[in-house]
Structure formats: C-alpha cells, structure tokens
Structure 1
Amino acid sequence: MRPHLKKQVIFIIGVSGSGKSTIGNLLAKELDLPFFDGDDYHPESNREKMASGKPLNDEDRKGWLMALNTVAKEELKKNSCIIACSALKKKYRQQLSEGIENEFRFVFLHGSFDQILQRMESRSGHFMPLSLLQSQFDTLEPPENAIRVDVINTPEQILEQIKSELNKSEFGLIGLGVMGKSLCRNLAGKGFYISMYNRHVDGKEEDIALTFKKDFPELHTAKAFDKMQAFVHSLQTPRKIMLMVNAGKAVDQVIEEILPFMSTGDIVIDGGNSYYLDTQRRYEYLKEKGISFMGVGVSGGEEGALQGPSLMPGGDPDAYDKIKGYLETISARDPDGNACCSYLGKGGAGHFIKMAHNGVEYSEMQLIAEVYQLLRQGKNMQPDKIADLFEEWCQGELNSYLLEITAKILRRKEGNNWLIDLILDKAANKGTGNWTTVAASQLGIPATVLTSALYSRYISAFKSSREKASALYSPEKLSLELPIVHIKNAYRFARIINHHQGISLLKEASESYAWELDMSEICRIWTNGCIIRSAFIETLVPLLKKEKDILLNAHIAGMLKESYAAITQTVSEAVLGHYPIPCLTAALNYFNSYKEDRSNANMIQAQRDFFGAHGYRKNDDPEGDLHHTNWS
C-alpha cells in the first residue's frame, strides 16, 4: 500500500552501517521521490578526518547539517524528498530540521553494536573506518519522535513498516462538539493528516465523525472513528491525542479508555476548560506511566477555533516541543505575525492561565452590561444608538472584541423588536468564574471585580425572586445627568483595574506553584484569537516586560488619574439613581483601598486582639514582635 503523503522531508537516520542509504534509496523508488545521501555533502576535510580514524566534532558537523537543511528547504518548494543522514544527537536533528518544523519525519534505523559491526565488516569502499563505530554509538541520542525500525528485519520488511507508519495520521482529536469540530477543520485545513473520534451511543450519537467528515471538503484526508482502539492505532508514534470533552469526570474516563492502547512517549493534550488542579493531578498520573500530558487553554469560541484561537499550553516542556508545530500553526497571529501560542509553564499552568483569562472575561462582559444599562435606562438611548457609540469607542484605546460584538448584538432585530429586549435576563456560567474566585481567595488576591461579576450572574438566576422584590419595593430609576463621556471614562477606569487584578492573580500563582510565568508573553498570546483581545492588552505586552505592577506605571497612573473623577461621579449618580453597578463600584472601591497608605485595617487588628488575643504589630516596628493588650 502506497501511503498518502503530505509534502515533507523524510530523514533516514542512524549510525553508519545501519543501512540509511540502502533503505533511503529503496523508499525513494517506492514513493517516486528524489533521494539525497548525506555522505555526499560532507566537505573533503570531514572525509579526511574520518578516514584518519578521528571522529567529527560539533563544529565539523555544523556546515554539513546546514547544507542538508538547505537541500531540504529547496526540495520542499517542489515536493517531498528523502535524505539519509546520521543525525545522532538531538541538537543535530534540530539543526537539520530548522525552519521546516511541520514538514519532516524521522525514520530511525536502530540495531545493536554487534549487528551494525557485522554489517560494516561486509561493506567496502566507505571512507569511515570500523574504529569509529563505537564513537557513533557513544554519541547516539535515540530520537523519541521518529518511526523506529529494527535493522534485523529484511529491507522489504523495513520498507513495509515505514510505509505503514507514514500512512498513519499525525494528530488525533477526541470529542466532536462545537470546539472539537472547529479545531479538526482548522488542523486539516492547514494540511495536517488527522484522525477524529466521537463516541458511539445507539440512537443518540451514531457515525458522528463519519458524517462530519463528509460535510466538509477540507476533511477529505481525515480518518473518522467511533471505535477507540482503531482510532488510537491509526496514529503515528509517538501519538499526539487532543481531548475536547467536557471538563471533569469525562476527561478521566477518556484517559482510562485510551490508556490500554497507548505507548511510552505518547502525548495526551486536554484542550477543554479543565480545573487546573485536575490537570496537575493528571500530569503526575500519566508521567508515572511514561505518557506526557499537556493542559492547553483554548480561547476564541467556535469561530476562533476554526480561524485561529489563542492557545495557552502548560505541562511537559519536552512534549510541547513535539506538538508545537501543530498548535502554533493553527493558532491566531499577534500584531507582529507570531503565533498566539507558546509554552507557558509546567503542570496545570496552561489551564490556570485560561481560568484567569475567563475571570477577566466575566468582568469585561459585566462591565459592558452595566454600561449598557446606564445608557439604555439612565440616558434613554435606543440600542442602535448605543451600538453607534460603542463602535465609536472601538476606534480608539477602548477597542476590544467584546465591545465589537456587543455593538453587533445591539443592532439585531427580530421583527419590529430589538432582539436584546427579547432575551431572558438570566446569565449562565460553566464554572470557570467560580474556580477563579476560589483560586483568588486561596492565593490571597482581592479579585473584587471578577467576584462581583460572578455574583451578578448568580443573582440573575433568581429571576422569580427578583420579580417579586421589584413588585414589593417598586424601585424607580432616575435619569442620569452625567455626560456620556463620564460613563466612557468610568468604563475605561474599571477595565484597567480588572486587568490589574487578573495579572496579580497570575503572578501570585506563578510564585506559589513555581511556574515562572512570563506576564508579557501571556498578554502577547491574548492579543488575538481570544475573547478578551483588545487594544489595552496590546499596550500591556511591552509594559509588562519592565513593570511588575501596572498600576505603578506612569502611563497607566495617568489614565487612572484622568478617569478618576468620571468613575466617582458615575458610581455616585448610578447608586443614587438605583442602578445595580457591582463591577464599576468594585473597581472604584478597590482603587480607593489600594492607594490608601493608612487603611482602616488597624481597627481590624485591634478587634482581633480584643476577642482572640491574636496580637498586633506597631507602626514603629512593622516587622517586629506581636503585641497584646488586656483590653478589659
């Protein structure tokens, strides 16, 4: 069976005498591809050195590997090709494949020293003497990410094994919900050969993967499965399997289902909204079994997953090196054209970052909702006029994806009615806001804007109680006299506080879990593809390379000072007008507390000492011993 090949370079690697040239030539003829023997590209100085019995050093190999890399790049402009090259060390293989990270495969011909020595003794006319064979075995760092073939087999058997592996998919995805389907189409559309799996449930979920494959032309090379064993066995080794299933027990169940068919060195990627401590547990559990685990936050929704999401990978750094070609290719691009994806930290770091992202997202959505209500009810503006205003704001520093989509929402009608007026005012959530609030509390970070946004969703769920309370208290909302520019600047102010709190949470987690998170890099990944992408996020990328606390940056401080009067007046007038503005109020209260050099916490300490003898420190010795007063 001739494999269906994507355009790629197939490097046949191994020690001298393993049969690289023989197998490379045979495979090239079988696949009708050009073949290049790496030995032909050694400079004369290298040949003379080896012929004299001296092994090559790294400097000797550098020019040779660069020459073969150039051959690979030139051939890829036309078609696939096959190159035989020893490439014994990991760093040699990195030099060999530099710049073609998504377009190569390694085939590793391996055998024992005695097997290879016997083969070398039977050949003649080669410039490398037998005495150098041991140095090659000493240098060899067996590749993990390669088709591994035992040279004890016949050339015909070796060819069949290589062709069988080449015919397998390079990436697998489990779970064909909205996000899973979009990621499959994204991967396949970028030229990757994928396998797709969705469970089979009689009468409910039947032939999901096969039907999906038939619906989209970009999936013509994809393989569809509803049997787990066949799906796993359809993948090249080391296998790379991404899970797009519901967070929680479903992830553990799928992991247990695939484990019997997995091998050491395989990689499992959880792309769902999993709780970061669950991800940490799974990381440790699979590590014991020789399987790498990555927790990858995926943001962008259905459209983002298809066109280019923001990806937040955490877990095994070596595993990331093997999957980054796929993730970085399908991700969104930042303003400089770089992938909105890079390795962020070990264990559950990726999912923690996604959780914090969602916390900021909750707050941004609630802030827009509060601004909308103030404009709609307090300023008596119609939805289309508010849409005009939001679009105007998007022309400047307030530009964001969420503000853009809100303008589109406000223009939509159903018949003669504004659709926004027909939507039930009960906001759902999937738990990430709750997790972020809990994590912030555990880590001692006052994420007050997020907490207010979460509780706003919770209170919205009590629709019948709210209706009864409205009838009982009959709150009459007052018109707002403040200018619209004050509402705009209040929104600007609160957004800065929201992002500050999200970044503070990430910093504390980084220190507590020793993740060494790069705040600037995280914000760079958030500049495109994700739900919270905005002009403000872009300003934070260079700023966070120098600053630890954005509120202490002169530029940010200037923005807050300019907007302080506006948010103070907006909150005051909104409260007097009976408008619920929990996030705007939380942002102002946080800032007022944050800038107090002398807070009211001294009273709290005195009270604690009075009833519990907890002790207190004094202003003249803030790090000194605790004092206690007999208050009675």
Structure 2
Amino acid sequence: MGVSGVGKSTIGNLLSKELSIPFFDGDDYHPKENILKMSKGEPLNDTDRLGWLQTLNKLAIQQLKDKGCIIVCSALKESYRTILSATIKNSTKWVFLTGSFELIEKRINERKGHFMSSDLLKSQFSTLEEPKNAIKVAISLTPNTIVKVIRKELENTAEFGLFGLGVMGKSLSRNLASKGFNISLFNRHLSGKEEDVAVNFKNEFKELATALPFDDIASFVNSLQKPRKIMLMVNAGKIVDHVIEYLLPFLDEGDILIDGGNSNYNKTKERFDYLTSKHIHFIGAGVSGGEEGALKGPSIMPGGHKEAYKKVQPFLEAIAAKDANNMPCCTHIGTEGSGHFVKMVHNGIEYVEMQLLAEVFLMLTAMGNNPDQIATILEGYKDTANSYLLEITIDILRKKEGDDWLVNKIMDKAGNKGTGNWTTIATAELGVPSTMIASALFARYISFFKDERIAASKHFSTTTDANLDLSVAAILEAYQFARIINHYQGFRLIDEASARYNWGLNLSELARIWTNGCIIRSDFMSGLVKTFKTTNNILTDKDIISTINTLKPSIKKVVAACILNEIPIPNFSESINFLNGFAVANSSANLIQAQRDYFGAHTYQRIDNNTNKFYHTDWKNH
C-alpha cells in the first residue's frame, strides 16, 4: 500500500516471485467508471471505492484458500483497510511503502500510459492515514533491497510477547525461550533510567539468542504473529490500565492480553468486560512460584474465555511446573476474574502457612532452642507435614552471618502487598468465615507497629517461660491441625465465590495445580486432589474427620500452654476457636439475634417453628 507512484506494482511483482505466491494489481480491478473519472483528473470518493475494495477483499479471501497472495492497492484510509481485510484480519499483513512528495511526483511524471496523473498526488497525500500495524519501508532503497527488508520482516515474527522486564517478566521470558518459543520482549525507555533494557537482557542469556527486543511499542506489537498474544508483567494497579490503553491503538480484534500480575479480581473483571467490548480477549492469570518458579516452572491460574485460553494454552502449559503425573500445573480456571481470585486466596492461605511456622518458631524458641536446633526439629516434621514453606524455613534458620544466625538480625516487621487484605475483604463480602487468613493479616499489621510495641512492652511485661511444658510432637500435631483448618477455610472461600459468580471452579483440579510450582505446595495439598473428587467440604471427609479428632487434644494443650505463658499464637488459637465455634449445634448467636431485635427490630426465627416465620418482641415488657 501507499500513494500512487511509490512503486507498489514493481515491489509486489518482485515479492511474489521471492515468496512464490500470486500477485494482483488492485488497479486492474477498478470498474470502468472509476478509471474514466481518474483519467479526467477527478479524485475518487469513498462511494466510488467501496465496490472496488469489496472486490479486492473477495479476491484475497479466495486466494487464502490456497497459499495466499500479494495484492497492491493504495489503501490510503484506515476504513479502506478495514474493508480490504474484512473477515481475514488475522491473515493480513500490510506493507507500507513511503517516500517524499518530490520523489514520488518525479516518478509519476516519468511513468507512461497510466491513468493516474501527478495532479492527483496532493489529494492522495492529504487522504493518507498511515497504518499503525504495518511493515514500513522507504522507497529510497533499491527494489531488491526493499524486497529483502520485507521478507526479513515477514519471517521475523514472534509467537508470544512479554511486556515488562522486571524480575518475574525476565524469568518467564527465559522460561518461554528455553522451551523453544520465538518471543518478543518489551521494556519502556526512560532516558537516564531505563535504556536498552530489552536489548541488554537479550544479550545476557544465550537462550534469548532469537528473542526480539524492543522499546518501541508499535515495533513490538508488529513483531507478533496474529492473533497477538501479549503477557503483561507489570505492577498491579492503575499501571495495568495505562498499559492497556497504551497498547489498544496497535491491537486488532481477536488479539489476547494476559495480565500475569497480582491484580485484584474485581479490577480484572472490569478489564475483561471493557476489552470484550473492544473485541480483545483478556486473561487474568495468577502466577505463583516467585522468581525461581517463574524461571523453572510456576503454577499458573488463567481465567478468561475458554476459546482465548486455548490459543495461549501451549505457551502457558509448556512453562508451568509439572505435577506427579507430569501434567502441567496450569489449567483453565474459569471466566472473568476467577484466575486472579484463586491466586488471591492462594496468597491468603500462604499468609496463614507462613504465620503458623512463625508461631512454631516462637514456641520452640521459648523452649530454649536456637535456630539451628529448631531447624533440626523441623526436619523431623517433614515426614508427616512436609511443604515448600517448611523446607525454606529450615534453610532460613540455618543461615548464619558471622557468629549469629541471620534471622536474629532481621527487623520483626512483616510487609504485605495487598492480596491478604483483598482476601480478608472478599471473605467478609461473601460471608465466609476464613478467620485464619484475617488473623494472619492482622498479625502482620501488628508487627509493623514496632515503636508502639516497644513502648507497650515496658508497661505490659510478659513472662515467657523458657521451660514451656510442651513436647515437639504436640506442637507438630497442633501445627497439622491448624493447617487442616486453614485449607478448609481457603477452599471454602473459593467454593463460595464459584457459586456466587457462576464460575464453576473445580477444587480438585485447583489443588492439583497447587501440588508443584507454587508457594503453598505440600504433601497435604497433594492429598486434597483426591479428597476434592468426592466433596467440596473437607470437613465432611471421614479420613480428615478422624485426623482432626486425633490431633485435637494437642492443639488444645498447645494453645492453653501458650496463653498461660503469654506467647502470642493468633493462628494456632484461631484454628481451635474456629472449630469450637463451627462444630456446635447450638451457639450463642440466639442471644445476639435477640439483642438485634431489641434495639433494631431485626426480628428472629424460632426453633419451635419450622415455617421460616419471623418474629418481633417488645422486650421491655417482662
């Protein structure tokens, strides 16, 4: 494409021979009335062109049934190109020949026997709307050079694009490249701050030898095969929306954007709906495993339209971790924000698992053990309660710096990036008592009030007993008990969201993709794959019921001893408090409902009436 006189026919002919596909000159398909009008020096209007453009579109569709073709056509407006590529947009590649007015005018004047005169060139330049997604070549080059440039650009396309080269983006890029995929890499250009990031990254690792690096958005998008598949590895929040708006002008219908960050599932649903209205697919994919997991194999939780997932499935499943049966720890979760929701709850479960280990550490320290001794004790836990987090905790406790353990030098302020907060909000909104997640989150909040804690410690002296009367075995059993309750609460929250939002989530399949690659992988999680094949409520499974009853004496003993010795164990405590409040046929909530009716006339139901009738009482008259 390009204005008249740029050499479209010459280049098209040469390119057709180079690629061994048919060539067609769009000018040959003008109706007689169009040719007559242009011969008189009258420019064509949109009405004149419509039938001609539709004819060329039909020609292209017909040729695609074989091996395609090359068609040359001025195609000056975006609307013209839309007509020309109707129904075949993903099979169309535009080549835009461009040059100066003076050069093109000279060429037209040297051309003989053509109905188009140089008098119409100005109108063509004024009509021209440059395409955003095209191979752009200057006609100042020789024809053979132009053909070589075009061929190289046509062949130099990537299957998958990574937008954002932070820690996770870089690791996923290397993972994809190591699996043999042709990828394009994009990182923004900020003078003096972020320059040549993609180029330098490509040159750093041999597996990226064929990767295409960019800091220009148009070139990055144009380097990708259609439908384009672009994974956004940017920080969650408004930056995701900014990137989407940045990319949109360069995208075509059917292209796929994947948000691989820790985005809020509500925002993912909004983006999903927004991009659906633009005919762009959006997949919110939770990615767990950290930097190492992203490089060697993470657990991936993609949510979006099933047909869109199928197009990115080969890429995501290839880079995912593998379960015990060598199946990828990646599966289509559901639609809308489901992928980011389950990743959010995954992180909530993770908060609890980390807090429980911190509480075990605190108890074993109070019993007089140093970090090395605690690590050895935890090694013994691996036989019955092994997990990734247990393994890394052992490594952490054994790390020394000088004569002291490094953990002793770390400030006791635990940060968070929002997912625990979102999970706590979600559990409140959905009315599910995932109390341990909230308790773990608040434990982190408490830790951050360091100065106030120091001040309080001077007024409210604690008397932790270095001879805490607990056995290592009892703490292990209490730990196992608390972990069961944590997993019940987390999966119960997911199940409620699935029902509320009509996601149809498969808890067994979800547990399966969490058996490797992710932070909460564990032997217990592997067992849940089978458990969830028969129930969505693990507290109804006979084996788990038996285990809980066996472990219950230990959790009661551990919690009681810690409270008496003023050792804070909020998650251990919450696990037994939850079960005590949950596994009771008649609770104290009858008094609360009476109080609500007293001051707010909120009414109540009666246990001696099963008709669902509601009552109100004037409580002041005894």
- 1:112 maps to what in 2? 58
Q: CA deviation at 1:159?
A: 12
The question of whether the paired residues in 1 share the 8 Å contact of 2:61 and 2:88 is answered with no
Equivalent of residue 613 in structure 1, options 582, 601, 608 = 601
Residues 25 and 465 of structure 1, relative CA distance in 2, 3 Å threshold = closer
| Percentage of matched positions with identical amino acids | 50
- 1:552 maps to what in 2? 540
Q: CA deviation at 1:337?
A: 0.4
Equivalent of residue 305 in structure 2, options 306, 316, 324 = 316
Q: How does 1:593-632 map to 2 (within 5 A)?
A: 593-632=581-620
* Superposed CA offset, 1:548-574 (max 9, x none): 210111000011001100000000000
* Superposed CA offset, 1:472-509 (max 9, x none): 22212123102111110000000000000000100110
Moved more, 251-260 or 201-210: 201-210
Q: How does 1:123-134 map to 2 (within 5 A)?
A: none
Q: What RMSD, in angstroms, separates the aligned Cα atoms of the two structures?
A: 2.4
- 2:451 maps to what in 1? 464
Residues of 2 paired with 1:210 and 1:113: CA distance? 41
Residues 496 and 167 of structure 1, relative CA distance in 2, 3 Å threshold = same
Moved more, 449-458 or 379-388: 379-388
The question of whether the paired residues in 1 share the 8 Å contact of 2:300 and 2:329 is answered with yes
Secondary structure of the 2:257 match is strand
- 2:99 maps to what in 1? none
* Superposed CA offset, 1:120-143 (max 9, x none): 9xxxxxxxxxxxxxxxxxxxxx78
Secondary structure of the 1:407 match is helix
Q: How does 1:12-411 map to 2 (within 5 A)?
A: 26=20, 112=58, 116=62, 147-148=91-92, 164-377=153-366, 379-396=367-384, 398-411=385-398
Q: CA deviation at 1:213?
A: 1.0
- 1:508 maps to what in 2? 496
Question: Which residue identity is paired with 2:253?
Answer: T
Q: CA deviation at 1:362?
A: 0.3
Secondary structure of the 1:206 match is coil
Secondary structure of the 2:234 match is coil
- Residue 412 (structure 2) pairs with residue 425 (structure 1): yes
- 2:42 maps to what in 1? none
Q: CA deviation at 1:395?
A: 2.5
The question of whether the paired residues in 2 share the 8 Å contact of 1:165 and 1:236 is answered with no
Gaps (5+ residues) in structure 2?
Answer: 1-15, 22-55, 67-86, 95-143
The question of whether the paired residues in 2 share the 8 Å contact of 1:299 and 1:531 is answered with yes
- 1:416 maps to what in 2? 403
Residues 552 and 159 of structure 1, relative CA distance in 2, 3 Å threshold = farther
Residues 203 and 617 of structure 1, relative CA distance in 2, 3 Å threshold = same
Q: CA deviation at 1:621?
A: 2.5
* Superposed CA offset, 1:334-389 (max 9, x none): 11100000101000000000000000000000000001100011x11111111112
Which one has a bigger Cα radius of gyration?
2
* Superposed CA offset, 1:432-485 (max 9, x none): 000000000000011110000000000100001101111222212123102111
The question of whether the paired residues in 2 share the 8 Å contact of 1:609 and 1:629 is answered with yes
- Residue 440 (structure 2) pairs with residue 483 (structure 1): no
Residues 566 and 546 of structure 1, relative CA distance in 2, 3 Å threshold = same
Residues of 1 paired with 2:61 and 2:545: CA distance? 71
Question: Which residue identity is paired with 2:58?
Answer: S
TM-score (norm 2): 0.77
Residues of 1 paired with 2:61 and 2:526: CA distance? 58
* Superposed CA offset, 1:270-308 (max 9, x none): 000000000000001111111000000000000000000
Residues of 2 paired with 1:182 and 1:402: CA distance? 21
Residues of 2 paired with 1:505 and 1:143: CA distance? 44
Counting matched residue pairs gives 500
Residues 419 and 148 of structure 1, relative CA distance in 2, 3 Å threshold = same
Secondary structure of the 2:282 match is strand
Q: CA deviation at 1:228?
A: 1.4
The question of whether the paired residues in 2 share the 8 Å contact of 1:166 and 1:236 is answered with no
TM-score (norm 1): 0.76
- 1:523 maps to what in 2? 511
Gaps (5+ residues) in structure 1?
Answer: 1-21, 28-109, 121-141, 151-155
* Superposed CA offset, 1:143-191 (max 9, x none): 88x64479xxxxx999998874442111111111111110000001111
Residues of 1 paired with 2:474 and 2:610: CA distance? 40
* Superposed CA offset, 1:189-223 (max 9, x none): 11111111111112211111111111111111111
Residues of 2 paired with 1:189 and 1:305: CA distance? 12
- 2:118 maps to what in 1? none
The question of whether the paired residues in 2 share the 8 Å contact of 1:490 and 1:567 is answered with yes
Secondary structure of the 1:493 match is helix
The question of whether the paired residues in 1 share the 8 Å contact of 2:285 and 2:300 is answered with yes
